[in-house]
Every structure is written in C-alpha cells, then in structure tokens.
Structure 1
Amino acid sequence: MKLFYSPFHTFIHKVLVTAHEAGLWDDITFVPTYPFKNREGEDQGDAYSIAALNPLDKVPTLALDDGQVVYGSQAIVECLDSMSRSGQQLYPAPGPKRWDAITRLALADTMFETTVMLVMEGWHPEEEQRMDFFRWIWPKIIRGCDSLEAACKRGFDGFDIGQASMLHAISYMDFRVNFYDAKDPLYPDFDCFDGRPNLRAWWEESIQRQSVTCHYNRDFEGDDSAQFLQQNVQEVLAAQAGQS
C-alpha cells in the first residue's frame, strides 16, 4: 500500500495512528506530499499534485496494492481498521460504543478542519483577515474542547477511533501556532487544556502509545522529493491499468 500524506510530524496523524494500531505499518510505503508548503515553509505549487489519483488533490490518500484508491481520512482509517492484523480494532461493534466513538471522530475531525480554516485565513495580510470569520469559528472549537473534556471525564472502554481523531485535532492546534507562527486575533494564548483537567490527563497518557510515539515529534526520514511522489503516482496508475 502507498499512503500519500503530509509528513509534518509535529502533530499527530490519526491515519498513522490507525495504521500502527492495526499492525499494518510495515506494509505501507509512506509518500510525503506537500499540498501547500514544505517543512521549510516554502510554497510548492503543483509539484506534489496527486490529482491523477484523487480528484480533490488532497491528502491523505491511500492506494491499495491493486490500484484502488481510498481518499478522505475517515474512509482511510475505516479501511485500515478493517484490515487489522493486530487483533485490535479501533471501531467498536455496532451499538452505543460505536456511535459514541464515531461521533467523537466526527467532532474532532471538524475541530481539525476548522483549525485549518483559521490557518488559511491567517495567510492573508492582517488588514485583510475577516474578524467575523474568527468570531464564527472560535465558539465551535471551544464547545468542542468542552465536549471532549466531558467525554474524558466519563472515561473510555479502551482506545478507539474517536480518541485517535482527538489526538489529531488537539495536536494540530499547537502545530498551527508553532509552524505558522500564528498569533490569533481573538485567542492569542489559547490552551485547550486550561480548565479541562480530564482532557489534559487523557492527553498525557495517550501520547505515550506506541502508535503515537512512532511518528509524533519525530522527523520524517526518507525521500520527500516531488520526483519520488510522482514515481509512486505512476506506479499506482500502472496498477490500475493492469486491473482494467
């Protein structure tokens, strides 16, 4: 399998967490993809385009060995979890525990997506940034953090896909500030753990998982060139042609 993904390891990727938890880590070729900027903050234009595989030209995108392409992080984590060889699955069986897990997955994923929207708004010159937009986004993030605090207070019956997404969303908030040097106009010193002791305790325990430590705050080591990416795109297209 090939996973086209953004190799910024200063935030936690739920797709990488799921791959490791499923025992599939060694079966995956990791293909660094820079949709916007590389790790040095340099714009990459279309050099890393994967539009030939994914019409949305977005990461993450997973290519299976037969050339089938799965895109969208929620689709990818469910696909990987269904192939688990570790004896553990992050999606509980149908019932209340599953609905709780996938609801937290949806909540945390949307918190991540709204934080990305803040990042992109911050790319505009300060005088062109829309304050109404920040005022619209922030209540969603704050209510989301409060909901995650309540979930952590109730506790969990094992590690699940909702928690993988929670790790992703929370870590990306710090990534936004540190990588993009973003000083938010409304909440410049926002800390999602302030006043949320259960969320903090859960975080401190969860980041010790091997599926997190295998990549979190560890630099990607390998070829991250555009040439390597396009070579892998062509290999997927060749696999698809062989199946037709």
Structure 2
Amino acid sequence: MQLFWTPASPFTRKVVIAAKELGLWQRIDVKPTTWPLDWGYATVPFTAGLAAANPVARIPTLITDDGVALGDSTLICQHLNSLATDTRVIPTDGGQWPMWALYAVADGLLEAQVAMRAEMLRPDAIRSAGFLQKQQDRIRRCFDHIEEHAVELSVPGGSLPNLAQITAGIACGYQDWRDWLADFRPGRPALSNWYGEFSQRPAMRETEPSDTPEA
C-alpha cells in the first residue's frame, strides 16, 4: 500500500495511528507531500502522482494493494480495519453506531480546526473574522459534546482504541499544537484527564504533528 502523507494533517494522523494500532504500518509505503502555504485558498502545485491518483488532490490518499485509490481518511480506516485479523478499531457488532455517532462529532471538530488553519493562512485583507468565529463556535460545541460523552472514550484493558477515540485524541492534540487555538481543557475535566493518559499511547507519541514542507 502507498500513502500520500504529511506530518501536519490530523486526518493523515488518524490513518497512521489506525495502521499502527492494527499492526499494519509496516505494509504501507509513505509518500511525503509538500504544500505551499497558500494551499488553503488557491490552487497549488501538487506532489507528483497525487492528483492523478485522487482528482480531489487531498491527503490522506491511500493506494491499496489492488491499486484502488481511497481519498478519504474514513474510507482508508475502514479498509485498514478490514485487513485486520484480530482486534479492530471499528466494531462490527451493534456497538458500532454509538461509536460512529461520536466519531462524526470528533471528525467534524477536525474539519473545523483545519478550516481555521486555512483561513489563518489567508492575507489579512481577505481573512474573514466571521468565518473564524463560526469555526471557533463549532469547535467549542464539539469539545463540550465529547466531554458529555467522556464515558465512551475509555479504552478497556487489552483492547485497541476505536476510531472515535482515536479521532478525539487527535483533535485534542491538534488543539494543543496550534498556538492560536484555545486550550480545550478548562471546564472539561473528564476529557482532560482522558487525553492526558491517551496521549501517552505509543501510536500517539510517534505521530505528534509538525509543519509540512512547502516544497
């Protein structure tokens, strides 16, 4: 398998953590990508092969062993989950729907964080304060919801985290990494305590974000 990758993307981090937790990381050939800083509001040159594989030209994009290009982190994680032979990050029983419900909130939180990042990269003259506030409000609501559902974040001993738990952890980590994002911890003690422990998982520690090369 081949993965178009960047160290800054929380969606790429989701795929990498899922692969590591499932024991599939060694089967993936990483293809680093570069992104000029105007990627958020203009068409930029793409890393060779990315747009040909995925015309949406977004990361992560995974090329499966069968040559199928999966250009969405949720799809990629579903594919990786299907390759697992033992424990999985996506449940197959009736418990999957509460997991997917929490996942949708955590994934929407990532979308709001990345939307803010793209807007912050715009020149001051075309940056929208209203758009930034809209994303901040969405981020706050999502973190509040995850706090209210913190009991669902607990990972039983000997089990792998599910995809909602992985995504919630990544959202917390991204909020910490970008210094212009507010601290998620005040007023959310359960989430704060959970993340303090979850962030120490090897797959989390090995995938801490860093800025993507521009060229």
Task: Measure the CA separation in 2 of the matches of 1:132 and 1:219.
Answer: 26
Is there any run of 5+ residues in structure 1 with no aligned partner, and where? 38-43, 178-182, 227-244
Tell me if structure 2 keeps the 8 A contact 1:12–1:212. Answer: no
Amino acid at match of 2:57: D
How far apart, CA to CA, are the structure 2 residues paired with 1:172 and 1:61? Answer: 20
1:205 is aligned to: 197
| Residue 94 (1) aligns with residue 93 (2) | yes
Query: 1:157-213 CA deviation, whole Å, 9 max, x = no partner?
Result: 542110111122222223333xxxxx4xxxx6x210111111111111111212222
Which structure 2 residues correspond to residues 1-244 of structure 1 after superposition, within 5 A?
1-8=1-8, 13-37=13-37, 45-49=44-48, 50-85=50-85, 87-95=86-94, 97-153=95-151, 155-156=153-154, 158=156, 159-177=161-179, 183=180, 190-216=182-208
What is the aligned partner in structure 1 of residue 40 from structure 2?
none
In 1: Cα distance, 2:153 partner to 2:114 partner: 28
Would the aligned equivalents of 1:3 and 1:31 in 2 still touch at CA under 8 Å? yes
Partner in structure 2 of residue 236 of structure 1: none
Change (3 A) 1:138 1:218: closer
Q: What SS class does the counterpart of residue 51 from structure 1 fall into?
A: helix
TM-score (norm 1): 0.75
User: 1:94 deviation in Å?
Assistant: 3.3
Q: Distance in 1 between matches of 2:73 and 2:154?
A: 22
Question: Do the aligned partners of residues 145 and 225 (structure 1) sit closer, same or farther apart at CA in structure 2, a change above 3 Å counting?
Answer: closer
CA RMSD of aligned residues (A): 2.9
Deviates more, 1:6-15 or 1:125-134: 6-15
Q: Secondary structure of the residue that 1:30 maps to in structure 2?
A: strand
Query: In the alignment, which residue of structure 2 is the partner of 1:240?
Result: none
CA distance in 2, matches of 1:163, 1:204: 13
Instruction: Look up the SS of the partner of 1:191 in the other structure.
Output: coil
Give the superposition deviation at 1:78: 0.8
Deviation track 1:98-139 (CA, whole Å, cap 9, x = no partner) reads 111111211111111111111111122334322221232222
Matches of 1:12 and 1:211, distance apart in 2: 13
CA distance change for structure 1 residues 120 and 9 in 2, over 3 Å: closer, same or farther?
closer
For this pair of structures, how many residues does the alignment match?
A: 207
Q: 1:14 to 1:132 in 2, by over 3 A?
A: same
- Check the 8 A contact 1:14/1:167 in 2, yes or no: no
Kindly state the Cα deviation for residue 154 of structure 1 after the two structures are TM-superposed.
Answer: 5.5
1:18 partner letter:
A
Superposed CA deviations along residues 16-67 of structure 1, whole A, max 9, x for unmatched, are 1100111101111111112444xxxxxx941515110001001001111221
Larger radius of gyration: 1
CA distance 1:154–1:57, shift in 2 (3 Å): closer
CA distance in 2, matches of 1:65, 1:46: 27
Distance in 2, matches of 1:129 and 1:136, equals: 13
Query: Which runs of at least 4 in structure 1 moved beyond 6 Å after TM superposition?
Result: 9-12
